[in-house]
Structure 1
Amino acid sequence: MDIETLNGVSTMEVNIGITEENREKIAEGLSKVLADSYLLYLKTHNYHWNVTGELFHQLHEQFEEQYTELAEAIDEIAERIRAIGFRAPGSFKEFNELTSIEEDVDQPKAKEMVKRLAKANEQVIRTAREALKPANEAEDEATIDLLTERLTVHSKTAWMLRSHLED
């Protein structure tokens, strides 16, 4: 067992068959997916609380399903970052620096909420695709599986949201 001491804290070396350099690239990609997922969670939860209009009941329930799923996913993503030996970002400041999801500065109407959530889910897909590259290069199947699941969930969610906008 190799134990390292950094800043007075002892840690065991991570030896999972993926180089530290590759693990760091994977952790950076996952951190961006985590930040995007967290900001999408906040946006979705906000819309759940504040949606009004004729679609209220349907959207209120749909948004709740989505933010509940995101809460579980956020935990899995953060735990994967830790499992490969890196600190998971966990503050709003860190998330804000890493995310590509736009924060709302207004209170949109129901259809605009749906449109923004569809776009935000599509952004998470793009971020996850970028994060897949270093995971594929390192043959990190656990991260590939996690990101593939995220792609599946966000693709379906974006499709369901876009369906509300069709005439």
Structure 2
Amino acid sequence: MSFPVKVKNVNIGINDASRGEIAEGLSRLLADTYSLYLKTHNFHWNVTGPMFQTLHLMFETQYTELALAVDLIAERIRALGYPAPGTYSEYAKLSSIPETPGVPKAKEMIQLLVEGQETLVRTARSIFPLVDAVNDEPSADLLTQRMQVHEKTAWMLRSLLEE
């Protein structure tokens, strides 16, 4: 995906081509984050069973954190001089997190959210070589923070699946 539009005269010490590649990677991270936000919010609304209260509150905490992350990622893309994707169709093309049809049981919801959190870690990690190569410390900091959050959340969700 190559961005057709960019802000002119961005001179932050990173060349245009590198900024474009990083913006593309961050756009994938944005799409994955928004997709996981939607999935988590859906599960918050529709979870049932003996762990309802615990999962309902946990999922709310998680989707709230994801909503804040979406803004941070989009703003970093803008700071690099590119438009942030913001439509369902763009996210569908960019995201590696599949939609979940229907309403799964609570345990399956947890497993699907673990997979989503781990996907976000892998997406963030895949962008690191690009930002490292051009000393893009703000993007590296954002990616590090996102990986920490998603690794911890995946661990907490996995803990619920243990017998």
- The reply to whether TM is greater than 0.5 is yes
After superposition, what is the alpha-carbon deviation per residue over 1:29-67, rounded to whole angstroms, capped at 9, x for unaligned? 000000000000000000000000000000000000000
* TM-score relative to the length of structure 1: 0.93
Structure 1 runs (4+) deviating above 6 angstroms are: none
Partners of 2:162 and 2:117 in 1: CA distance: 17
Q: Which of 104, 108, 121 pairs up with 1:108?
A: 104
- d(CA) in 1 for partners of 2:63, 2:10: 33
Which is richer in strand? Answer: 1
- How is 1:18-33 mapped onto 2 (pairs within 5 angstroms)? 18-33=14-29
C-alpha deviations, 1:69-120, integer Å up to 9, x for none?
0000000000000000001000000000000001011210001000000011
Q: Which residue of 2 aligns with 1:3?
A: none
TM-score (norm 2): 0.95
Is 2:86 aligned against 1:94?
A: no
2: CA distance, partners of 1:37 / 1:161: 17
- Looking at structure 2, the residues matched to 132 and 67 of structure 1 have their Cα atoms a distance apart, in angstroms, of 24
Secondary structure of 2:77 counterpart = helix
For residue 44 of structure 2, what is the aligned residue in structure 1? 48
Q: Secondary structure at the match of 1:105?
A: coil
Matching residue of 2:126: 130
Cross-structure match for 1:142: 138
Counterpart among 54, 78, 88 of residue 82 in structure 1: 78
> Whole-Å Cα distance in 2 between the matches of residues 64 and 83 of structure 1?
29
1:158 aligns with 2:154: yes
Q: Is this contact kept in 1: 2:8–2:81, CA < 8 A?
A: no
Q: Does residue 72 in structure 1 map to residue 46 in structure 2?
A: no
- Cα deviation 1:119-140 (Å, max 9, x = unaligned): 1100011111111121111110
Gaps of 5+ in 2: none
The number of aligned residues is 160
CA distance in 2 between counterparts of 1:131 and 1:75 reads 18
